[in-house]
Amino acid sequence: MNDAVEEIKQKLDIVSFIGQYTKLTKAGRTMRGICPFHSEKHGSFFVYPEAQNWHCFGACNTGGDIFAFVMKKEGLDFKGALELLAEKAGVSLPSHINPQIRDQRERLYEINLAAAQYYHNLLLNSPQAENARSYLKSRGLNDQSMADFQLGYALPEWQGLYDYLKERSYTDEELLKAGVIVRSDEGRIHDRFRNNIIYPIANYKGQIAGFGARVMDNSQPKYRNSPQTDLFDKSSLLYGLHLASASIREKNQAIIVEGYMDAIMSHQGGFTNTVACMGTALTDRQIALIKRQTKNLVLGLDADSAGEEATLRAIDYENQIESEIRVAVPEGGKDPDEIIRHAPQTWQEILDNARPLLDYIFKHSQKGLDLSSAAGKAGLTDRLLPIISKMEDGVRQSHYLGKLAEIVSTSQNRILERMKKLKNETRITKAIEKETTSTAVSAAKNPALEEYALSLLFTSAELTRFAGKLHPEYLEIPQYRELLTVYNQSAEKDTLRAGLDENLREYYDNLMNKNAANDNIEDKFCDLCLRLRERYLRNLAVKLNQALSEINQPETAEYQALNDQCVKVNEELRSVFSLKDRRNQKQRRQ
C-alpha cells in the first residue's frame, strides 16, 4: 500500500491539485492563495512545490501533504482519501473500495446521467430549444452526431433541472456535490446552466463525469464547464474518448483536437479516432490516457496563438509516450471543424502531411527573426536549444542539433557544446534551489523516528498517559498520522486493530512487530516526541520565514500576524532546546 501512496504523490502535483480548490499565485518558490478551509480576505494559505505540502498560517494553523488536504477538505478518513486520490491519479489499489465511497460516486454518476438525458430530450423536443437546434444545424451537425454525443439544451428557467431531479428523490446536497446546481450567497438554489447548449463529458468508460456548456447570446465567457467534483476533473478527461477508443486501437493513431465541435465534426466526417482536450492546456494525465491506446499521436489544435503555444509545450509529451508526435497544421487560420464541414478530404490531406513536432517547432520559432544576422541566429539557438535538450531519444536529438547547426551556419560540435553548457547551468540552478531550501523541509520525512515512536506507544500500555506529547501534526507519513489520530480517539486501546480498515492494518501490524525497547521506555518515548516536535517547529519556522519574505510589507496587518506566529514558533523552539539540554544533563548524571 505504501507503493500506491508514493505513486499517487508522484502522479498528482499538489500545486495543480489544490489549485482546483483555490486560486494560487506564485510567490517566489512558493504558491499562495485564500485558504479553502476558512473565510479570509488575505491569503494565509501557502503551497510548497518542492516539498509537495501546504500550510495555512491563518485560523486553521495546520498543514500537511496532499492526503491531509483531501481528508480535511472532503471530511474523509485516510482510506477515503486514498481511494479518491487513487482514482484521480489512475492508480490501482490492492484492497477493496470503500462501499460508502463507491455508493456515493455511483449516485453522482446517476445524477449526471439523468441530467444528460433531461438536457438531450429538451434539445430534441422543446420549442424553447429551437434556436439551439438551428445553431447546431448551422454548424453542420446532423441528428446522428447529436445523438452519439448526447448533446442537450438547458432552459432559461432558474430551476428546470433542479425540479426534475428533485422529483427523482435526489437531495440538494447530492445535486450540489454533482455540480449541476448552484447555491447563491443568499442561499438560493438554481440550475448551474441556463439557456446553454450542453455537451456531456464522459470518462473513458462512457460514464458522464460533468458537462460543458455554450452560451446562446453574446455573453462571456462563451464556454463554461462543470466545477471540480469527485467525478469531474477536466485535466484528466478527453472529450469523446469513450467513442474513439476502438477506432484509436484499430488505426493505431489518435488525433487530439481542441474543442467540442472539432471532435464531433471529426467523428461525423469519419475521423472517429479523434478526441478533444477541451482547451489548449494538454496535460500529462490526458497523454497517459492516450498512451494506453496508442503511441502514435497527431495534434490538430486550432490555428491560433493559443493552439500554437500548446503545440510548443508538447515536446515533454514525446518523452512520456516514447514516440514522435506529429502536428497537423490547418491552413488559413481555419479550425478542424470548419475544414471538415466543407471538405473532409482536405482534412485527411492535412493529417497525411502532418509534420514531426520538432519540424513544426523549428519553423514556428523562426518567425520574426532575421537569420542572416548574428542576433537572429543567436535568438533561434536560444529558442530551440532548451527544447532539443529535453529530448530523450539520442538519435533524434542529434538530428535536430545538426539541423539547427545548419540553419545558423555553425558546426554541430559548437551547438553540442552550447547544449552541454545549458544542461550544466540548469543542473546547477536546480541544485542551488534544492540546497537553499531548508534541510528541515527537504528532509522532512524521517519514517524511522515516526515508526519508533509509534511502535513504543502501541506496544507499551504504560505510555498511554504520555500519548498527548505526540501530536498527529508532528508526523509526515499520512498513514502514521491517521493511526495516531485513531489511537487518540479510541477508548479501548486493546481493540484498536479490529477497528482499522485493511489499508491501515498492515501499517499497524508492522509497527507492532518492531523490536521496541525493553528499558527506559518512558525516557526514550519522550525523547522521540521532543525530536519530532523540534522537526515540526523547524519546518514551520522555515515556512513562516519564507512567507514573510514573499510578503515583505512590514507595515501590513497580514505581515504582523505572520511575524507574531514566527516569534511564537521561535519561542517554542527555544523551549524545546532548553528541555533537551536539561534531559541530556540528567542522562549524563545517571
Structure confidence at residue 400 (pLDDT): 93
Q: CB-based contacts of 66: which residues, under 8 Å, 6+ apart?
A: 8, 9, 12, 14, 17, 18, 52, 53, 85
Could you tell me the three cell numbers for 176? 450540489
How far is it, in rounded angstroms, from Cα 165 to Cα 112?
Answer: 10
Mean pLDDT by 10 residues, the chain (590 residues): 77 89 86 89 87 88 91 82 87 66 85 97 97 96 97 97 96 95 93 97 93 92 91 91 91 94 97 90 82 89 57 75 87 87 94 92 88 93 89 90 94 90 67 43 60 88 88 89 86 75 80 73 89 91 83 74 86 87 73
Q: Which residues contact 240 (CB under 8 A, 6 or more apart)?
A: 149, 263, 264, 267, 274, 275, 276
The fold for domain 99-232 equals DNA primase DNAg catalytic core, N-terminal domain (3.90.980)
* Letter string b/e over residues 270-289, b meaning 16 or more CB atoms within 10 A of that residue's CB: ebbbbbbbbbbebbebbbbb
C-alpha–C-alpha distance, residues 392 and 408, integer Å: 23
Of 192, 299, 197, 195, nearest in space to 238 by CA: 299
Task: Name the amino acid, one letter, at 285.
Answer: R
Residue 121 DSSP SS3:
helix
Other beta carbons within 10 angstroms of residue 46's beta carbon come to 24
Could you give the angle at which helices 66-74 and 78-89 cross, rounded to 10 degrees?
110
The confidence score (pLDDT) of residue 207 equals 93
pLDDT at 590: 62
| pLDDT for the residue numbered 476 | 87
Peptide bond into 94 cis (omega under 30): no
pLDDT of amino acid 392: 84
CA distances from 315 to 215, 393, 419, 433 (A): 34, 12, 17, 24
Q: How far apart are CA 543 and CA 46, in angstroms?
A: 8
**Grid coordinates representing 469?**
506529547
- How many other CB atoms are found less than 10 A from the CB of residue 367? 8
SS3 294: coil
Question: CA angle, 464 as apex, 460 and 469 as ends, to 5°?
Answer: 115
Nearest to 268 by CA among 349, 197, 337: 337
DSSP element (H, E) containing 256: strand 254-257
Check if CATH label 3.30.950.10 holds for domain 2-89: no
Cα 573 from Cα 575, distance rounded (Å): 5
- Distance, CA of 25 to CA of 47 (rounded, Å): 10
Q: Give the pTM.
A: 0.61
Give the per-residue pLDDT at 168.
Answer: 94
What residues pair up with 199 in beta bridges, in sequence order?
212
C-alpha cell at 538: 523547524
For 489, residues 6+ apart whose C-beta sits below 8 A from its C-beta are none
Residue 327's beta-bridge partner residues? 299, 355
CATH code for the structural domain at 241-355: 3.40.1360.10
HSE-CB for 459 with a 13 A CA cutoff = 19
Where along the chain do its domains lie? 2-89, 99-232, 241-355, 366-436, 442-589
Give the pLDDT confidence score for residue 441 in this predicted structure. 40
Q: What is the DSSP string of 440-509?
A: HHHT---HHHHHHHHHHHHH-GGGGGGGGGS-GGG--SHHHHHHHHHHHH-S-GGGTGGGS-HHHHHHHH
How far apart are alpha carbons 296 and 45 in whole angstroms? Answer: 42
Q: Which CATH class is domain 442-589?
A: mainly alpha
Q: How far is CA 372 from the centre of its chain?
A: 44
Q: Which residues of 421-447 are buried (b: 16+ CB within 10 A; e: fewer)?
A: ebeeeeeeeeeeeeeebbebbeebeee
Q: What is the pLDDT of residue 427?
A: 62
